[in-house]
Structure 1
Amino acid sequence: MRPRVTLKLATSLDGKIAMASGESQWITGEASRLQGHRLRASHDAILVGVETVLADDPQLTARIAGEAPKQPLRVVLDSRLRTPATAKLADGALILTTAEPHGIGQSRVVRVESDSKGRPAIAAILATLEAEGIRSLLIEGGGRVAASFIQAGVVDIIEWFRAPMILGESGRSGIAALEITKLSDAPRFQRLAVQPSGDDLWERYEKV
């Protein structure tokens, strides 16, 4: 059985994750960031695209003061193997690529089947993670990765943290373009809960 997929979004009210310049720290507040770390600790693996690695150099670890949370397997989608050996997560991440594998720090690099655009195919990603014993996957970025998983119909849960700010059209979207032309083709989700998270709003959705 494929991993259960959760998409975590931390955006402005209008769904933006960064300024046009790439500035993104911090859109949501401390309470939402803490909940984000708890989500990391509750999943077997956390996944981002290489653009997130290049832009933010994240650790992708679960960090909770006074606790020693379980750490998820860190997974990077990197078609052309651009992850630097000096990246903070290069000491143990699983890098999935469509290129000829080569070493990147202490990471494991695994070649998977590509889709029509030369990117790691969603089905191949999930099959590889299933073989790794992964039962729950948290997706954290970026917008193109989020769109790919949504379009493939495999996002089961959305955890959406919205900050009380608006960035406008020039901001970077949390979800890139979906290849749909009719409202009837739009992916549908059912709202499960809405609650405050500090000054932010925390919404939970489940796939219909």
Structure 2
Amino acid sequence: MSASFVTLKLATTLDGRIATASGESRWITGPEARQAVHRLRAEHNAVLVGVETALADDPELTVRLDGYDGAQPARVVLDSHQRLPVTAKLARTAGDIATYVVCGSPPRADLLDLGVRVLQAADQGRPSPRAALEALAGVGLNRVFIEGGGQVAASFLQAGLVDAVEWFRASMVIGAEGRPGIGDLALSALSDAPRLKRVDVREVGSDLWERYERI
């Protein structure tokens, strides 16, 4: 089993928010930044979100670039209790694009019927980030692109499993009531904070793209 490489993508306001308090997030960043995200998806073999993101945004998580004819990355939902509805785009298109639910309970028959592949990575509980990566690596998915939400980002950072961060920052401010790009890390000291090294910064349209690597 090969080691996983994990990239965390953030698309936030200047104050680190990914949505308003009501959940509105389309679109914080501009079209150039979104095209860059599609190119990054194509460099990974799995795109991962938490179930809250899947429920709120109903995303496709596909590579949509003019002229792109490469493989689509697998879509992965961290979903402890298999709350992904059969009406979700991810479930409805699972027969065409590999789609996984990583959970802590036996597979739901209606998800299996649609072609969703269920990986039970915990026993009736919430799979840890490390357990989720091990389950994905077991099916050959070892380049993982995390796209949300805030608590998923925090859990992988807290576990020390993020190898790279791709941060797209828009020139707007939402305020403290907005939803944070990174959830609670429960830090008691600065020395406990995850630290990364910035390796690149560039403009993409009206947004800023900052790239970081694990130290």
TM-score (norm 2): 0.93
Letter of the aligned partner of 1:195 in structure 2? R
Mapped partners of 1:187, 1:87: distance in 2: 34
The aligned length equals 206
Mapped partners of 2:37, 2:167: distance in 1: 10
Q: How many Å apart are 1:114 and its aligned residue?
A: 5.8
Mapped partners of 2:123, 2:171: distance in 1: 39
Mapped partners of 2:182, 2:73: distance in 1: 23
Are residues 1:106 and 2:112 paired?
no
Q: How many Å apart are 1:66 and its aligned residue?
A: 2.6
Determine the structure 2 residue equivalent to 1:181. Answer: 188
Secondary structure, counterpart of 1:89 in structure 2: helix
Are residues 1:197 and 2:204 paired?
yes
Mapped partners of 1:101, 1:172: distance in 2: 31
Secondary structure, counterpart of 2:202 in structure 1: strand
Secondary structure, counterpart of 1:35 in structure 2: helix
Determine the structure 2 residue equivalent to 1:146. Answer: 153
Asked if structure 2 preserves the Cα contact closer than 8 Å seen for 1:114 and 1:121, the reply is no
Letter of the aligned partner of 1:96 in structure 2? V
108, 118, 134: which one aligns with 1:127: 134
Q: Render the CA deviation track for 1:7-60: whole Å, top value 9, x for unaligned.
A: 000000111000000000000000000000001111010100000110000000
Q: How many Å apart are 1:130 and its aligned residue?
A: 1.1
Secondary structure, counterpart of 1:95 in structure 2: strand
Secondary structure, counterpart of 1:84 in structure 2: coil
Mapped partners of 1:124, 1:45: distance in 2: 15
Asked if structure 2 preserves the Cα contact closer than 8 Å seen for 1:63 and 1:69, the reply is no
Determine the structure 1 residue equivalent to 2:70. Answer: 69
Asked if structure 2 preserves the Cα contact closer than 8 Å seen for 1:12 and 1:163, the reply is yes
Determine the structure 2 residue equivalent to 1:45. Answer: 46
Q: How many Å apart are 1:69 and its aligned residue?
A: 3.5
Letter of the aligned partner of 1:59 in structure 2? E
Asked if structure 2 preserves the Cα contact closer than 8 Å seen for 1:156 and 1:207, the reply is yes
Q: How many Å apart are 1:89 and its aligned residue?
A: 0.8
Q: Render the CA deviation track for 1:128-181: whole Å, top value 9, x for unaligned.
A: 111111231100000010000000000000000000001110000010010211
Mapped partners of 1:4, 1:114: distance in 2: 25
Question: Once superposed, what is the RMSD of the aligned Cα atoms?
Answer: 1.2
> Could you tell me the percent identity over the aligned residues?
54
Structure 2 gap ranges (5+): none
Q: For the structure 1 residues 49 and 114, does the alpha-carbon distance in structure 2 shift closer, same or farther, using more than 3 Å as the test?
A: farther
Structure 1 gap ranges (5+): none
Letter of the aligned partner of 2:7 in structure 1? T
